């Protein structure tokens, strides 16, 4: 299964490298169940580079977790925290769990809808 490794966050664009992406596979990034627009995937010698422009509305107080998906598989996630500095803050982990649960609910609802 593919996984993504963060390489940079510069000028409002988060970049990661995917090591084992199937050719022609779609990559999507979600924030609060909404798909982030203008995500790009480019082939490189080391695999694929995924670039995600950070939406301005996600830069607000609190924790925002972006979930990176390839098809129905989660290949990674990254978190933006604004406001007070947090050392080992559980808010990021809880927000990631919420984001993953939202994606599972969405997939389950689609499955139920398709099988009825």
CA distance 59 to 34: 15
Q: Mean pLDDT check: name the lowest of 28-32, 40-44, 70-74, 79-83.
A: 79-83
pTM, entire model: 0.73
Compute the distance between CA of residue 5 and CA of residue 26 in angstroms, rounded to an integer: 17
Range of the domain at 31: 4-115
The residue that leads in pLDDT, 63 or 34, is 34
Which domain CATH number covers 87? 2.60.40
C-alpha pair distances (Å), 37 with each of 1, 72, 82, 112: 24, 18, 21, 27
Q: What is the per-residue pLDDT across 28-48, written as a single tens digit (0 to 9) for each?
A: 999 988 999 999 999 888 789
On the 0-12 / 13-18 / 19+ scale of CB atoms within 10 A, 70 is: buried
Q: How far is 26 from 55, CA to CA, in rounded Å? A: 20
Number of domains, the chain: 1
The model's pLDDT over 11-32, given as tens digits with 9 standing for 90+, comes to 999 999 998 888 778 899 999 8
pLDDT, tens digit (0-9, with 9 covering 90-100), for 84-104: 655 556 777 788 888 889 889
């Amino acid at each position: 299964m593919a996984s993504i490794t963060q390489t940079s966050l510069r000028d409002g664009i988060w970049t990661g490298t995917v090591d084992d992406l199937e050719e022609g596979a779609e990559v999507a990034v979600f924030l609060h169940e909404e798909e982030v627009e203008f995500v790009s995937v480019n082939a490189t010698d080391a695999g694929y580079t995924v670039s995600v422009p950070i939406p301005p509305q996600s830069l607000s107080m609190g924790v925002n977790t972006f979930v990176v998906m390839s098809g129905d598989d989660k290949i990674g996630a990254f978190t933006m925290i604004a406001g007070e500095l947090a050392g080992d803050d559980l808010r990021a982990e809880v927000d990631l769990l919420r984001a993953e649960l939202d994606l599972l609910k969405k997939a389950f609802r689609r499955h139920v809808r398709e099988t009825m």
